[in-house]
Chains A and B, each alone.
Chain A
Amino acid sequence: MAVITMREALNQALREELRRDETVFLMGEEVAEYQGAYKVTKGLWEEFGDKRVIDTPITELGFAGLGVGAAMVGLRPVIEFMTFNFSILATDQIINSAAKMLYMSGGQFKIPIVFRGPNGSAFQVSSQHSQALESWYAYFPGIKVVMPSTPADAKGLLKSAIRDDNPVIFMEQERMYGQKGEVPEEEDFTIPLGVADVKREGKDATIVARSLMVPLALKAAEELEKQGVSCEVIDPRTIRPLDIETIINSVKKTNRVVVAEESHPFCGVGAEISAEIHERAFDYLDAPVRRLSGAEVPMPYAKNLEKLAIPDVNQIIKAVREVAYLDS
């Protein structure tokens, strides 16, 4: 298998889908001539030209709406938000149009659209540009939400997202674009949406982590192994639909759970997972589900404070030891 970066994996997925299906097109700020703010769309404008790779003005609500209209008439738009922070401007099109159109048209209009871009914290881009917004979109019926944590998952899931007939929010992580990993070279490698991945098997505690938290959870698990605690790390990969079965099966085995997330805790995805676990596996819990979330503050600009606002490996280790009653 080739070892490539997350950025290259996403680029491959886009290129392969653009080649495979001529109804697929890309649209967003700087995606064409500048090749993407994070170079995810590198070389695509050159290969597919103006009609398939389209630069837009700084008008998120506008081009999101263009995308929804294009999808209604049979195209498969992939809309890039430079970051998901800017998708906030486009929420009316995403939530009110894309998510509800199939339902409100009595099944006449499916919306096969992907909104993609980086989500969550970056490096010192402060409060307005460091937000993890997955719980916003996962909240609404009618949208799928995908958050890959490895190059292979990114590629396989993005291809499935583009082929899906429903609106898909595809959330990348700016800090992870340069992360390398093995990616299968098969002709048509895809990963189905809605299937969690057990990133590491273990028996004493389960860490549910997504996106940026997955590599941290794996590092924590490695450290904990040395301390005699065997951790299972589960990456749901798709937030909605959520593969709760895989999580529940793991909880039944380990009896203890830590949910690690970059986002705020209140009404967050971690809260949802925690509630599901309590509803479905109450009798298997030896300790309350422990959430480890981003701090309840707007993301600070200062580097030292920014670091403190996101869970780190030590906090994950501490939380696992807590649910396993190792320090009590």
Chain B
Amino acid sequence: MATQVVMPKLSPTMEEGQISRWLKKEGDQVSMGEPLAEIDTDKATMEMQALGTGVLRKILINEGETAPLGQPIAIIGEANEDISSLLKAGAGTGAPKSQAQPEQEGAESLEQRAPADGTRAAQPSGNGAGATETDDGQGSGRLVVSPLAARMAAEAGINLRSLTGSGPGGRIIKRDIEAAMSAGGKAGAEDAAAQTPQRHLRAVAPSSQPTQFPAVEGASPYRDEPTSVMRQTIARRLVTSIGPIPHFFLTTEIEMDRVVEMRRSVNELDPELKVSINDVIIKAAAAALVQHPQVNASFQERNVRYYERADIGVAVAIEDGLITPVVRSADKKSLSQIASEVRELAERARSRKLLPEEYTGATFSISNLGMLGIDEFTAVINPPEAAILAVGAVTPKAVVRDGQIVVRQLMRVTMSCDHRVIDGATGARFLQTFKRLLENPLLMIV
């Protein structure tokens, strides 16, 4: 039977994708698991595999075009099968954004009442029709979910509306729940990286509110450059952070003389190591997190999740955005390990070659703008983490020690805390430990 190929979810935050390149032409034979197309997501260019076997009958979305999750992008079927009904169905759900709103709504409800003949079954809102502009964003469409999946989701406390079903007509089935559970509980599972992101990943991004830009009389001329998918994701993600998360900020000043000295002698001993100040900061933060598990946590509505490992997200600036690759178990790694890992992750981040499991699931993040000459700043928490540390530049300053004015290498850090998890004193104690570790770096190795 002919089936629609829909825009898959290739990253945890992806809401739409752009066809970068079709790897098959119309009329080509495809078999399950074969690469079908390259898709630009908000994070990377990913290969999409065929989930069925047959002939690529029709390409619905051309190279360079964009489609929301769940929208049909191609049809795979037998060579001489009649695919006219699928073509019609594809036109229904994948309608261009100009389609009249009332008509679309009518079509949607009719479609959902139609018997599930496998071709015109309703798409759950949240992908398919739910992601088009006509949707109210509240996910009011009927959910299609197997009884088992519904029960598993209820037991695991998973919101079904946050999932994309991989069954026929977008039905949410057992494997989707299992994928969501392993994505959610990833921090605890060493082998989580083994899961395939192509087929089923949890949708975490809540619906966004459209931004209004008021037109101003006599304003400056301007040019519009379309926002990249990544820029849209950053915007949406950060809005969901500073809005719903009650941030508060704690700042402290740290004497970095010993760290600077340590780093200098380490790199002198072995120039290959190339340990940076930031690597030492990662190590110190991880060590402090282990001592203050309240900060290595996440607010989960009904419970607070405390992580066993310190997986540190390191913000890396890349062209047109940023991404936070994760140094897993940073508390257990040596400085040289951290240094080489961060360097390698950052390089691949810049070439947009990171895998989803390499930039998701951190338990705490660090953003360092010191190298850009920033003395002090505040960072926006990357949910579901509970805190982020904004690190400023290390600069020599005159300070008073024992009644004398002396020069010290000082660094200011500001931690943004999610007040639902971390209270002022909790955060302050963490920073105390962090400061003590950096001012006495020997403590990190004893």
Which A residues are closer than 8 A to B by beta carbons?
A: 255, 282-287, 325, 327-328
Contact = CB atoms under 8 A, between A and B. Distances in A.
Given A284-B148, A287-B146, A328-B168, 14 more contacts: A282-B147, A283-B150, A283-B151, A285-B147, A286-B146, A286-B148, A286-B149, A287-B173, A325-B166, A325-B175, A327-B3, A327-B53, A328-B51, A328-B167
B147 A325 contact: no
A37 B51 CA distance: 52
Given A325-B175, A327-B52, A327-B53, A285 B146 contact: yes
Contacts of B148: 255, 283-286
A285 B175 CA distance: 12
B174 interface: yes
Nearest to A252: B148
Nearest to A251: B148
A325 B168 contact: yes
Interface of B: 3, 32, 51-53, 146-151, 166-168, 173-175
B173 A325 contact: yes
6 contacts: A285-B148, A286-B149, A325-B167, A325-B175, A328-B51, A328-B168
B78 to A, nearest CB: 13
A126 B322 CA distance: 73
A284 B150 CA distance: 10
Contacts of A327: 3, 32, 52-53
B405 to A, nearest CB: 73
A282 B150 CA distance: 11
Given A285-B146, A285-B147, A328 B3 contact: yes
Nearest to A282: B147
B30 to A, nearest CB: 13
Contacts of A283: 147-148, 150-151
A327 B167 CA distance: 9
In order of increasing CB-CB distance, the 8 nearest A-B pairs are A286-B174, A286-B148, A283-B151, A328-B168, A286-B146, A282-B147, A285-B147, A283-B147
Contacts of A255: 148, 174
Contacts of B167: 287, 325, 328
B174 to A, nearest CB: 4
A294 B17 CA distance: 45
Contacts of A284: 147-148, 151
A282 B147 CA distance: 6
A95 B146 CA distance: 40
A318 to B, nearest CB: 10
B169 to A, nearest CB: 9
Contacts of B53: 327
Nearest to A287: B146
A284 B147 CA distance: 6
| Chain B CB within 10 A, most for which of A255, A325, A327 | A325
A328 B175 CA distance: 13
A255 B148 CA distance: 7
Contacts of B168: 325, 328
A18 B173 CA distance: 55
A19 to B, nearest CB: 52
Nearest to B154: A283
B165 to A, nearest CB: 10
Contacts of A282: 147
Contacts of A328: 3, 51-52, 166-168
A287 B175 CA distance: 12
A325 B52 CA distance: 11
A283 B152 CA distance: 9
Nearest to B167: A325
A280 to B, nearest CB: 12
Nearest to B148: A286
A282 B146 CA distance: 9
Nearest to B118: A328
B375 to A, nearest CB: 56
B144 to A, nearest CB: 12
A286 B173 contact: yes
A325 B166 CA distance: 8
A117 to B, nearest CB: 40
A250 to B, nearest CB: 14
A285 B152 CA distance: 11
Contacts of B51: 328
A287 B174 CA distance: 9
B71 to A, nearest CB: 17
A21 B175 CA distance: 57
Nearest to B54: A327
Nearest to B52: A327
A284 B146 CA distance: 9
B164 to A, nearest CB: 13
Contacts of B149: 286
A283 B148 CA distance: 5
A325 B173 CA distance: 9
Contacts of A286: 146-149, 173-174
A283 B168 CA distance: 19
B172 to A, nearest CB: 10
Nearest to B150: A283
